[in-house]
Structure 1
Amino acid sequence: MTAPPAHPRTVVVTNDFPPRSGGIETYVAALLARLDPDRLVVHACAPDGGGPGLREAAEHDARLPFRVVRDPDRTLLPSPALAARVRRTVSAAAAEAVWFPSAAPLGLLGHAVRTAGVRRVVASAHGHEVWWARVPGSRAALRRLGDAVDVVTFDSAVVRRPIATALSLAARARTAQLRPGVDATRFRATERTGWRAPGAPVVLCLSRAVPRKGHGRLLAVWPEVRRRHPGARLLLAGGGPLVPRLRARAAQVPGAEVLGRVPDADLPGLYAAADVFVLPVADRLGGLVTESLGIVLLEAAAAGLPVVAGRAGGTVEAVLDDRTGVLLDARDPAALAAAVVDLLDDPGRAAAMGAAGASWVRRAWDWDVTAQRLAALLSGEPVPRWG
């Protein structure tokens, strides 16, 4: 990791902060770890889980090199009360910049934080802003948001296109790419222990357990995969609201196991145990709910795994079709089963895809580069032309 880039005193206002887990939380944590901790304060939502959640959050925050202010609300919404609390945090930190890692809805506080002396406001859009751009009421709110901040960033061009149509021409000209990265060294293949049994190929799906991610679609086709590879194991990992339901279903599916949330420190070993990574994501509600990019797809590639992914939103930028993996319509059970079976049938092809993915991630997806770009945007440097 390089030295922290220079940036102004910055307050980060977010609902997406560990110990909560998910793609945006990974994105936020990775970038904050690369900024100057002495010029950084995080104003985060209250943790989930009552007393145990409070203890976990307190232990997590105490290990960080920057200050964390925990708001009393478990979900931060742009209300006058929240605006007042954030302004107090900004004033106490003598902050000159604010970053909203999830643009909607908190970016609507852009005008409010300026009254506390903030000169630069950056908001980062992900996949969930797509539906904001396509529903009349929220589309108008998204336009106001774009005018309230100095820069709107996007992690993928696919997601930028529908969101940018909701912005004013002035705000659209102030958009920039802030793509995620991967610590390729951390996810480089390690010894296959723990979750692996001798002679049994492992298929891994790691993601937050919500409907669009497709854990249930993979469970549905697993019997067909097992018919061709009787000893194969399916590991479904990640926390989320569907975990109890998935566990009940998996109990009836031979060779399938739902791990639930896996500690971050154990993720490299989990990837190393697998032969194929699958994320059968699909758009929902006619494309209103889509995938922004899929950091887990890049992590799997960095670990040397071939990737099977649904063609949805930004996944087309995280997987090079037929080079680092396979893109498909994950709602097609036959296609999904065939893609997994084909990679298990042909270890040479799978290894070649995994090697290509690891090489590509090392070249093209660098957190340090992204952190430098975020610091420049917070500092007020001109917004670079999109792309």
Structure 2
Amino acid sequence: MTVLVVTNDFPPRQGGIETFVRSLCDQLDDLVVFTARMPGDTQYDAGLAFPVERDRTSMLLPTARITRHAVDVMHRYQADRVLFGAAAPLGLMGPALRKAGARRIVAMTHGHETWWAGVPGTRQALRRIGDAADTVTTVSNWCEEQITKALSDKAKVRRLTPGVDTSRFYPGCGGEQVRKGLGLEGVPVVACVSRLVARKGQDTLIRAWPRVLAEVPTAVLLLVGGGPAREPLTALAKTMGVEHAVRFTGAVPWADIPPYVDAADVFAMPCRTRRFGLEPEALGIVSLEAAATGKPVLVGDSGGASDTVRHGETGYLVDPYNPVAVAVRLVQLLTDPARAQAMGKAGREWVAAEWTWQRSGQTLRQLLEV
């Protein structure tokens, strides 16, 4: 029962979906991955315990040629199960793979399929993807609500969430070394670990920072990650007069991320929905990783992000467009260490119990019937 994983989202490219798909591969015993060509892939693939077939293109699309290539990989490895790492658009190859011998097809959805569900044309395409699959999976309650609207009555929907590796993300996993290296020993730190893009809300944190400094003068905002918003965020910090209290680390390899999360006293990502509802936060696995590291989390109310925090218990859900409200919550956590520690402890226990890769893998194996 070999599983063919068809995906554009695979390392060495970094990102949330890439991590999701790659980690699910570890939960399967017999698989082959069909994906795109990308820098560094030869070296990366050489270290894997399963085969990876790379198309010559840098992005797979459901064209006739790439569909034939997928069928060829399926036959050569005698695969009879198919997992689409992201349903849209690759799930449009579902009928051809079914005809070629696929007995089970699972199509995973994330955030971008929610706008497919709301736009004429792509909505019909998503319906065809759902009809071709045995199961369409969603990562959050909100995503399920949005995507189900576009599917036919015969489509089956099931929740399949990412997990957190609590052996990598845990209290004391290297934060002190990061603090020492950045000169932040003994300093209150709020960290946002994410790509620097408008949706993640780093600008809201910077706008909130003058109010935070008014109550906690030594506090530092640590922005971990790279991205196109780096220059605008740097300029905003100067405009707000807080450039001395905002640190940018630049891009950090995924393998090195846990210590940066552990370096924080509070994790904050006031993510928001943009582009008239077409660009939401589907879930936000980094918030759960921060909880696993024993940090209280502050999360923006966008899309499915609310699934990653128990408001008032493991952290707070906030209005991402209200810097004042964000500042109030941050100050509460920075000035009340007992409350922050209690929330971090509760978050760690919650993630360890309900957000494991083993649990996600069990669900996937059931859906694929392997």
- Any residues of structure 2 matched to 1:315-354 within 5 Å, and which? 315-354=305-344
Q: Percent identity?
A: 47
Q: Please tell me whether residue 151 in structure 1 is matched to residue 135 in structure 2.
A: yes
| Letter paired with 1:188 | Y
| RMSD, aligned α-carbons | 1.7
Match of 1:11 in 2: 4
CA distance in 2, matches of 1:146, 1:213: 29
What is the aligned partner in structure 1 of residue 259 from structure 2? 269
Confirm or deny: 8 A CA contact 1:221 1:336 kept in the other structure. Answer: yes
The AA in structure 1 aligned to 2:116 is W
Q: 1: CA distance between counterparts of 2:160 and 2:236?
A: 38
**1:248 positional shift:** 5.4
Alignment of 1:1-387 (within 5 A): 8-36=1-29, 39-47=30-38, 53=39, 56-171=40-155, 174-190=156-172, 191-196=174-179, 197-247=184-234, 249=236, 253-379=243-369
- TM-aligned CA distance change 1:57 to 1:226, over 3 Å: farther
Counterpart-to-counterpart distance in 1, 2:138 and 2:294 = 26
SS in 2 for 1:141: helix
State the SS of the aligned residue for 1:359: helix
CA deviation profile, 1:190-241 (whole Å, cap 9, x unmatched):
1532331222111111122222111222222223322322222212123433
Cα–Cα, structure 1 residues 15 and 154, in superposed 2: closer, same or farther, change >3 Å? same
Deviations 1:94-125 (A, max 9, x none): 11011011111111110121233222111011
Q: 2:295, 2:341 within 8 Å by CA — same for their partners in 1?
A: yes
Shift in Å at residue 266 of structure 1?
Answer: 1.7
User: Corresponding residue for 1:50?
Assistant: none
How far apart are 1:244 and its partner, in Å? Answer: 4.8
The CA distance in 2 between the partners of 1:284 and 1:192, in whole Å, is: 32
Equivalent residue, structure 2, for 1:3: none
Q: Which amino acid is 1:76 matched to?
A: L
Q: Distance in 1 between matches of 2:317 and 2:359?
A: 27
Q: Describe the SS at the equivalent of 1:41.
A: strand
Give SS of 1:338's match.
helix
Q: Which amino acid aligns with 1:238?
A: G
Distance 2:332 2:216 in 1: 11
Deviations 1:288-324 (A, max 9, x none): 2211111101100000000001011111111000100
Indicate if the aligned counterparts of 2:224 and 2:260 stay in contact, CA closer than 8 A: no
Give CA-to-partner distance per residue, 1:114-145, whole Å, 9 cap, x none: 23322211101111111111111111111111
Task: Letter of the 1:319 partner, please give it.
Answer: V
**What secondary structure does 2:244 align onto?**
coil
Q: Is the 8 A contact 1:250 1:257 kept in 2?
A: no
Where 2:82 maps in the other structure, the secondary structure is: strand
Displacement after TM superposition at 1:344 (Å)? 0.7
TM-score, with length taken from structure 1? 0.89
Contact 2:204 2:322 in 1 (8 A): no
Paired letter, 1:202 = V
Structure 1: where are the runs of 5+ without partners? 1-7, 48-52, 381-387
Amino acid at match of 1:45: A
Structure-2-length-normalised TM-score: 0.93
Q: Aligned in 2, Cα 1:77/1:243: closer, same or farther, shift over 3 Å?
A: farther
| SS of 2:154 mapped into structure 1 | helix
Residues 150-185 of structure 1 show CA distances to partners (whole Å, capped at 9, x for unaligned) of: 1101111211011101100001xx111111211123
Whole-angstrom CA distance in 2 between matches of 1:40 and 1:22: 22
Unaligned runs of 5+ in 2: none
CA distance in 1, matches of 2:141, 2:275: 21
Contact 2:108/2:137 (8 A) holds in 1: yes
Greater mean alpha carbon deviation, residues 20-29 or residues 247-256: 247-256
- Tell me which residue corresponds to 1:383: none
- Report the secondary structure of 2:126's partner residue: helix
Q: For residues 258 and 282 of structure 1, do their structure 2 counterparts lie closer, same or farther at Cα, with a shift above 3 Å needed?
A: same
Structure 1 contact 246–258 (Cα < 8 Å) conserved:
no
- What is the letter of the counterpart of residue 195 of structure 2? R
How far off is 1:360 after superposition? 0.7
Distance 1:42 1:248 in 2: 42
2:177 partner SS: coil
Matched residues, number: 362
Separation (CA, whole Å) in 2 of partners of 1:98 and 1:242: 37
How far apart, in 2, do the equivalents of 1:25 and 1:66 lie? 16
Is this contact kept in 1: 2:176–2:185, CA < 8 A? no
- Is residue 180–residue 367 contact of structure 1 (8 Å, CA) maintained in 2? yes
Contact conserved, 1:232 with 1:255, CA < 8 A, in 2? yes
